[in-house]
Every structure is written in C-alpha cells, then in structure tokens.
Amino acid sequence: MKVAIIGAGNVGATLAYTLLVRDIVTRVSLIDVSREKAVGEVLDLAHGASYLENPEIRAEGYEGVADADVIVLAAGRGRKPGESRLDLARGNAAITEEILADMAPHYRGAVVIVVANPVDVLTYVTVRRLSAPPSKIIGSGTSLDSSRFRYLLGQEFGIDPRSIHADVIGEHGDSSVLAWSMASLGQIPVTRYAPPGGVPLDAAARERIHQSVVMAGKEVIQRKGATFYAVALSVARIVEAVLHDEKSVLTVSTYVEGFGEIADVCLSLPAVVGRDGVREVLPIVLDDEERRQLAASAAGLREIIAQLGYSDRA
Ligand code: NAD
C-alpha cells in the first residue's frame, strides 16, 4: 500500500517519517514544487532504511498519485504577520487548485486527506474541484484539536489520554467547539468526574482548558515557528484507519449536507472512517449551547467559502 504526500515541508516530511516508523505503510512518495526539497527529505528518510521494514521512499512527480491508496495534501503556507484569515484562505486555495489540476490526469480514486490550512475550506475546495465522491475527501480537521483536548484533560486528571473520549468539533480554528456534554472518561461524563482528593472541573477550569486548546497551535508556532509532530500523528491515524478499512470513529472534517440546519460545508464531526473514506457522520447529541456554537462555526466557514466564490449555493 502506498501513500503519496504532496508538500514535503514540515508537516509532509514528518508525516512520512511517522508512517514509516509506526509501520503503517512501507511505500511513501513525496511530491513537492521544490524537487530539491522532496529529494532531500527522501534521502534523509531512506538513510534510515536499515532500521525500517523494507521501505520504498521516493520523490516523484504527479504521476506518483496514480497507484497511491491515500493522497495527502500538505502543501501550503502559514499565515503571514498581519494577514487576514481570508487572504490566507485565498492563497492556499490557489495552491490547492493548482495541485488538484496537476493531479487530475493521474487520479485513480484514492482517498484524499487534506491537511493544509485553512483545512475545512481547502477540504471544501477539494470536494468541489476533484472528480470524486465527497466521502473520499477527508480533512484532518479537529482530529489534532481533539488530541490536544484529551491530552489536557489527561494532565488535569492524571489519566491516560487514551482513556478519555473528548471531541473538538466544527472548524479547525478560532470557532472550534469543545463538546463537553459528550466527553467521557471510562463511562463517566468528564464534567462529573473528580480525581482522588479533587473536585470536578468548574466553569473557570473548563474555560481555561478551552483557551488552551484553541490557543495551542498559536503557542507552539510562537515558540518554535511551526507545528508538525502532533498533526503528523493525527493524520497517520487517519491514514491507518483508511488503509486497514477500520471503520473507526475519528473526528475529521467531511462534507456535511444536512446535520440539523448545517449543509454544504466541510467541518469536523465524529465520523466512521474506512477504505472508502467517511462512511457516515454519527448523529451526535449536543446541548443547546454546543449546537448554537456549531451552527456559528458552520456559518463562519460558509461565509469564507462564499467570499472565495466556491459555493454554488452562496
Ligand atoms: P512548509 O512551508 O514547511 O511546507 C510546505 C511545502 O509545500 C513546501 O515544501 C513547499 O515547497 C510546498 N508547496 C508549496 N506550493 C506547492 C505546490 N503548488 N505544489 C507542491 N508543493 C508545494 O509548511 P508546513 O509547516 O509543512 O505546513 C503545511 C500546511 O499544513 C500549512 O498550510 C499549515 O498551515 C498546515 N498545517 C495544518 C495543520 C492541521 O492541523 N491541519 C497543522 C499544522 C500545519
């Protein structure tokens, strides 16, 4: 099985490393507008081949997507100082359009995972521009934010984050929604759990965690310039679920057409992920405030999509 990664930057190269080290796949191809960069990363990875399971790591052109089982779109740039969200979206949408056009003659129906930001908008662009069922196009969305949420709750309670089920839904960005009402630890709602000698999280503690989740990416970028390890792990998990046809429930960005009032937008919700991409979005039950926040998140995304001129219903 083969994964083709378009964009061999921090995120793309770290994803390649993660896929190989976690033994999720042995065939990885890097495609980048800078051939030098792709070849450099491939050599660096290939020099570790004696510690891996017979990897086949290559720098390729777009013909490399033809036999890929999963294609990852990780090409794009970060936000420049003072740049608006809309201008970043416009710039990275143009890059995504260019890539999809180059890819089209070679595309044979692989699942596409969009990682470049703004990920929900670019997932929508891919749904609109690539000739493929929307279910085959997955945005990494809030899978990273959900991992951050679980980590922070784990730290708070002194509990393994893998024993905590907690999701961030909606936009991967400022309007993301922490679904507290669904969050559980074992079978207990996290809002009712108190660690030994402690008390349940009050409103102030929940707000503190909310801010940490929402600001997490910005904090890492301020300190080290980019985020790539955790996103690579979360995308590797999605790749794994697709390649092994796991039908695992992952919180990913997907084309939503009728989740309550929400329609014609890509945003994250818990979804069943397998070989053909997203099989279904789970009919989760939110409280009134979360529903309101999710609707606002969807409306903000639809506004950007409309401003960029993509939606046929704008
Ligand atoms: P980077 O600058 O390190 O790498 C981007 C790569 O894309 C570069 O190698 C560049 O040459 C390549 N590229 C640019 N235009 C291209 C084109 N037309 N065709 C092919 N390749 C092209 O950036 P990064 O840190 O790897 O981040 C990549 C994207 O991922 C950014 O949009 C970033 O915001 C996003 N990101 C998303 C998440 C998430 O959770 N979704 C997390 C971190 C980063």
Please identify, among 119, 139, 159, the residue that sits at the C-terminal boundary of a domain. Answer: 139
CA of 152 to the centre of ligand 1 (A): 26
Tell me how far apart the terminal alpha carbons of the chain are, to the nearest angstrom: 39
pLDDT in tens, 292-313: 999 999 999 999 999 999 876 5
Ligand 1 lined by 145 (C-beta under 6 Å) = no
Q: What is the mean pLDDT of residues 104-124?
A: 97
Specify the ligand 1 atom closest to the Cα of 114. 41
Answer with the one of 117, 139, 161 that is the final residue of a domain.
Answer: 139
Range scoring the smallest mean pLDDT among 44-48, 229-233, 308-312 = 308-312
If asked whether residues 153 and 123 sit together in one domain, one would say: no
Which parts of 229-282 are beta strand (E)?
Answer: 248-259, 262-274, 277-281
Residue nearest to atom 29 of ligand 1 (CA): 116
> CATH number for the domain including 218?
3.90.110.10
* pLDDT score at 207: 96
Q: Is 172 a catalytic residue?
A: yes
- Answer whether residue 314 is part of any domain: no
Q: How confident is the model at residue 77 (pLDDT cuts 50, 70, 90)?
A: confident
Q: Of 50-54, 81-85, 281-285, which gets the smallest average pLDDT? A: 81-85
Do residue 124 and residue 208 come from a single domain?
no
Does 150 lie in the same domain as 135?
no
Q: Is the CB of 141 under 6 A from ligand 1?
A: no
Ligand 1 within 6 A of 116 CB?
yes
The answer to whether the CB of 72 is under 6 A from ligand 1 is: no
- Check residue 279 and give its pLDDT: 98
Query: Does residue 302 sit within a domain?
Result: yes
Q: Kindly state whether residue 240 falls inside one of the protein's structural domains.
A: yes
Lateral strand order in the sheet of 164-165: 164-165, 184-185, 188-189
Identify the band that residue 100 occupies on the pLDDT scale cut at 50, 70 and 90.
Answer: very high
The average pLDDT across 269-273 equals 98
Single-letter residue type at 55: P
DSSP labels, 117-172 = SSHHHHHHHHHHHSSS-GGGEEE-TTHHHHHHHHHHHHHHHT--GGGEE--EEB-S
Nearest CA to ligand 1 atom 35: 116
Amino acid letter, residue 98: E
Number of domains in the chain: 2
Percent of the chain scoring above 90 in pLDDT: 93
pLDDT recorded at residue 314: 45
62 in a structural domain: yes
Nearest atom in ligand 1 to 141's CA: 41
Residue 85 has pLDDT above 90, yes or no: no
Q: What angle, 0 to 180 degrees and rounded to 10, lies between the N-to-C axes of helices 229-243 and 10-21?
A: 50
The answer to whether residues 252 and 172 belong to one domain is yes
For ligand 1, whether the C-beta of 14 sits within 6 Å is: no
| Per-residue pLDDT at 43 | 98
Q: What is the mean pLDDT of residues 109-113?
A: 98
**Which protein residue's CA is at the shortest distance from atom 41 of ligand 1?**
115
In sequence order, the 6+-apart residues with CB closer than 8 A to the CB of 289 are none
Interval between CA 8 and ligand 1 midpoint (Å): 7
Average pLDDT over residues 261-269: 97
Domain that holds residue 175: 143-308
> Of the listed 165, 172, 210, 244, which one is catalytic?
172
Buried b (16+ CB within 10 A) or exposed e, 254-290: bbbeebeebebbbbbbbbbbbbebbeebeebebeeeb
C-beta 115 within 6 A of ligand 1: yes
Q: Is residue 313 part of a domain?
A: no
Calculate what percentage of the chain has a pLDDT beyond 70: 99
| Amino acid identity at 170 | G
